[in-house]
């Protein structure tokens, strides 16, 4: 049910806040060790855009359990914001040029191997700008 609700609300949330919108997604990463951070591929507009970001909608999907202490950040070239769940919205990038790519950054504090490894199935963003 939650998955279907996301599919229905994702485009509506994106259209609500801006004059322009771009969307990008990528496959996820595998993180095998604590104390190491891993970054997704850059997520960027498929065509040139101009303007400044307003609202960013994000979503990621994990395969398997969420490791205790997982830290997930969404970063532009100039700033990062910590994410508080597998989907949501943020205005942390207000004023950032809409052409800047975004990346998800994953980390589990501590040391040693993660058992099981953190497996991210997908990363998605919708960026509203004006």
State the Cα–Cα distance between residues 97 and 110, nearest whole angstrom.
Answer: 34
Q: State the pTM of this model.
A: 0.85
| C-alpha separations of 93 from 77, 89, 98 in Å | 10, 11, 9
Looking at residue 97, its pLDDT comes to 97
State the Cα–Cα distance between residues 116 and 66, nearest whole angstrom.
Answer: 10
Looking at residue 21, its pLDDT comes to 97
CATH architecture of 2-129: Sandwich (2.60)
Tens digits of per-residue pLDDT, 53-69?
A: 999 999 999 999 999 99
Using the predicted structure, report yes or no on whether residue 3 has a pLDDT greater than 60.
Answer: no
> Domain map of the chain by residue range?
2-129
Q: Binning pLDDT at 50, 70 and 90, where does residue 116 land?
A: very high
User: Residue 59 class from Cβ within 10 Å (0-12 exposed, 13-18 middle, 19+ buried)?
Assistant: middle
Angle in degrees, CA 57, 48, 8, rounded to 5: 30
Mean pLDDT of the chain: 90
Determine the average pLDDT of the residues in 85-106.
97
């Amino acid at each position: 049910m939650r998955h279907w609700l996301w599919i229905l609300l994702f485009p509506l949330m994106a259209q609500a806040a801006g004059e322009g919108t771009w969307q990008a997604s990528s496959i996820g990463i595998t993180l095998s060790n604590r104390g190491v951070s891993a970054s997704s591929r850059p997520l960027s507009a498929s065509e040139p855009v101009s303007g400044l970001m307003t609202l960013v909608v994000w979503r990621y999907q994990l395969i398997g359990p969420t490791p205790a202490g997982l830290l997930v950040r969404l970063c532009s070239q100039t700033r990062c914001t910590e994410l508080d769940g597998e989907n949501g919205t943020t205005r942390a990038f207000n004023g950032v040029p809409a052409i800047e790519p975004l990346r998800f950054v994953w980390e589990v504090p501590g040391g040693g191997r993660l058992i099981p490894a953190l497996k991210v199935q997908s990363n998605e963003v919708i960026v509203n700008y004006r």
